[in-house]
Structure 1
Amino acid sequence: MKINWGTGLVIAIALFMSFILYFVIKVQSNSKYDNELVVEEYYKHDARFQEEMERIQNAHDLKQKPIISYTSEGITIVFPESFASNQITGTVSLYRPSNKKLDFDTPISLSNPTLLIPKSKLVGGQWGINMEWQYDGKKYLTKEPIYIQ
């Protein structure tokens, strides 16, 4: 049987479409290629953007800022000593850009100016820290990436 150029072109296009469809189905069905959003309800989150920017600016304007560091015990967050530790409230959200299942929140309730997030809760890799806190009626937001080995 002889194949002319028109039939060859149709076969080539069909093979190419099959090839692309195979990879689309493979990526969508395999959890290794997870494509989740970093933030659920993205548009609701985006609507509060100005409020978020004000809280970030409040944190930026502080003379003494909270210090976030990684130690052998875990992640330590040291608040300024000029703040009364028992009046600081809020949450620290840790999220993994690569795996949503590892995300968790820790409430801020302090008796001294240091908050420790134990190493046992953390897996190696990049983490994002969103610290939403308030002191004396003023709201603050601190965002930092940190890498855990």
Structure 2
Amino acid sequence: MRHLKINWGTAVVLAFIGFIVFILSFVIRMNTQKKYDHQLVTEAYYARELSFQEDMDREQKTRREGMDPRIERTKKGIHIDFPDHLKPEEISGSISLYRPSDSKEDFEISVKLSGRRLIIPDEKLLPGRWNVEIDWQYGENHYLTHKKIMY
């Protein structure tokens, strides 16, 4: 029987080629298979980036004036309570729920209140992280609140 001898230079080249093949197969798999779908958090990501400073100013105004709605997770869903001193019928706007792991689960609801509390039922919410954005107005004032929730 003959023994095949490989010197160390050949072994290094073979290891390097193996590593390159592994990396290329990984890159190809990540770009072609649907289960590794990588997308932007929101569809209009770059457009939203342009209004970033305006949004920060609105959030600071909301906190400064004590107008942050209270957002809490319960067994029944997400409860959003607007400040007590406001008239519910004069509050309008929208609530957007973004799911960082899957943009197909994102949804938005309109703010129409008869009382101070709005409930987002748990059947609409999958377990995991949700980014809640409340973009609302009361009279002539516009407010913005963001909160991350684990559901």
TM-score, L = length of structure 1:
0.88
Tell me which moved more, 39-48 or 81-90: 39-48
Aligned to 1:110: 113
Aligned to 1:141: 144
Q: CA RMSD in A?
A: 1.9
1:94-109 to structure 2, matched below 5 A, reads: 94-109=97-112
Equivalent of residue 39 in structure 1, options 42, 48, 58: 42
1:52-67 to structure 2, matched below 5 A, reads: 52-67=55-70
* Cα distance in structure 2, aligned partners of 1:63 and 1:140: 11
Residue 8 of structure 1: CA displacement? 5.2
* Cα distance in structure 1, aligned partners of 2:34 and 2:65: 43
Structure 1 residue identity aligned to 2:124? K
Residue 114 of structure 1: CA displacement? 0.8
Aligned to 2:74: 71
Q: Does 1:120 align with 2:120?
A: no
Structure 1 residue identity aligned to 2:65? L
Tell me which moved more, 33-42 or 78-87: 33-42
Residue 4 of structure 1: CA displacement? 6.6
Aligned to 2:53: 50
* Cα distance in structure 1, aligned partners of 2:149 and 2:9: 57
List structure 1 runs of 4+ shifted beyond 3 angstroms: 1-13
Residue 9 of structure 1: CA displacement? 5.0
* Cα distance in structure 2, aligned partners of 1:64 and 1:102: 28
SS at 2:20 equivalent: helix
- Structure 1 portions without partners, runs of 5+: none
Q: Cα deviation per residue 1:1-54 (whole Å; 9 max; x = unaligned)?
A: 876766655544332221111111112223332321112233221111121111
Identity %: 43
- Structure 2 portions without partners, runs of 5+: none
How many residue pairs get aligned? The number is 148
